[in-house]
Chain A
């Protein structure tokens, strides 16, 4: 009970004192464990919109945008250009902190939820996140093709996605949003940002986070390969020799 009260208090802080709505969110799990049979996972974030007694009804209804961001990593986008008869990587654009996994879920089309200026300010949607000025280092060249290329390639690899029907309202004030964790998800901390809007204005925000970790054999091997790398290498070398020898015994014809 105390924990729930504390959570509510925290949610109040996030929503700010001037606003009438409070947003309470909960993830279906705090950890995604990777074992030998891992091929991706699904998490669900649930949310309840709590209203105090005096607040007026929202005639436009509620809109929710959920953004899940994986561990950040630096990415260089290179572009092939003709150089004589061949095509070579000739220009590049560096992005400092790109979420390895990025999922944007919304209750309806982002264009209907908020005007372009607000979408850009709140970073709602893949385009708005990548178009943010601080997302890359300005080098005085036209970097828009590189930003678009980054979205295209990350989406093709199944690491980034955007679903404009991904948040489902079960009742008027209770919603859920299923989030897919890709098979090639990077190990580390993932954070989920939930923004509640109505009529193009922000009412409340919520945050949650979970981690993707290796467990069991997968974790032990990773730790062993890092901490005892020479022994690990010799072990694999010995293993390879043994396999080769066994095969030659099995297939011996004489």
Chain B
């Protein structure tokens, strides 16, 4: 069954889009990330104009993270104070990202910047996460339990001014490193057309050593606020959100996210980290292959900036 997308100006298969929404929703619910970094390439692969793909999937992220955030709130697995600080920084970073995005586009180097950022960021973060989590995974299996964080063993930056207490996350630290994290995530996320949840989650896990249970819910709340802002801005500025595509992705996504979130609760924390590391690394490798392998078709067509 095919349906015509009014803004993307092309027909797509309803079942295919519902299925893609469900699959990405599952991963998103499992790891507490937006899933934009998976959805955007998939939609572009289907032939949907990149601007429409980037803009529309933020509607799906809004919906799936609403569900995720509400579920986490009910389980009391959210640090609202931390989510607030992250959101604040995220908005600042998003604004800066939009500005650089436009400047790079004018310079004609946006494609290169995006691919190189994907490769370095995903490969670096993915490898770090995988190495760290594998070490931990095997250590746990051998029965050696490492204390999660000892008093006084935290990084020096936590002791900077403007210290704040985050009781839910068992964290007492300066807000400056947290703001720096969220500003850079908002910035990079806007540049790459992704929510940035996949950076926030590992950063909170590995840098700030916040318990896994709280990290996912908190990240969901932050992803929700960023994605909601993105939907409104993308519609108002670029007119690139396709309502028909959005509804199909949302319907597929909310169901997928539910099952993902359930699977996530059943997953052991150390296995969870290994899987997330593999996922991020795989996306990085895919982009690396894109520029490292001799292309079958060296030519590509580029329409002027705008919707197509």
Contact = CB atoms under 8 A, between A and B. Distances in A.
Nearest to A234: B232
Contacts of B66: 240-241, 243-245, 248
Contact of B241 (A38, A146, A153, A233): A233
A240 B301 contact: no
Contacts of B235: 225, 229-230, 232-234, 236
Nearest to A226: B239
Interface in A174-225: 183-184, 186-187, 214, 217-219, 221-222, 225
A86 B255 CA distance: 40
B294 to A, nearest CB: 7
A152 interface: yes
Contacts of B255: 247
A16 interface: no
Interface stretch (B124-132, B206-214, B243-251): B243-251
A28 interface: no
Given A229-B235, A229-B236, A247-B67, A146 B299 contact: yes
Interface residues of A, number: 62
A36 B4 contact: yes
A245 B64 CA distance: 9
Q: Is the interface of B mostly helix, strand, loop or mixed?
A: helix
B152 interface: no
Interface string B9-22: 11100000000000
Contacts of A254: 74
A240 B297 contact: no
A51 interface: no
Contact of A232 (B9, B241, B302): B241
A180 to B, nearest CB: 14
B236 A87 contact: no
Interface residue tally on B, bucketed by range? 35 or more
A183 B8 CA distance: 12
Interface stretch (A58-66, A72-80, A115-123, A132-140): A72-80
A55 interface: no
A38 B299 contact: no
A240 B71 contact: no
Task: Report the 8 A-B pairs with minimum CB-CB distance, sorted nearest first.
Answer: A244-B66, A233-B235, A149-B299, A247-B254, A240-B62, A244-B63, A233-B232, A218-B6
Given A37-B3, A244-B63, 13 more contacts: A37-B4, A86-B291, A87-B298, A88-B112, A89-B111, A221-B244, A229-B237, A232-B241, A233-B232, A240-B59, A241-B63, A245-B67, A251-B71
Interface of B: 2-4, 6-7, 9-11, 47, 59-60, 62-67, 70-71, 74, 111-112, 228, 231-237, 239, 241, 243-244, 246-247, 250-251, 254-255, 257-258, 291-295, 297-304
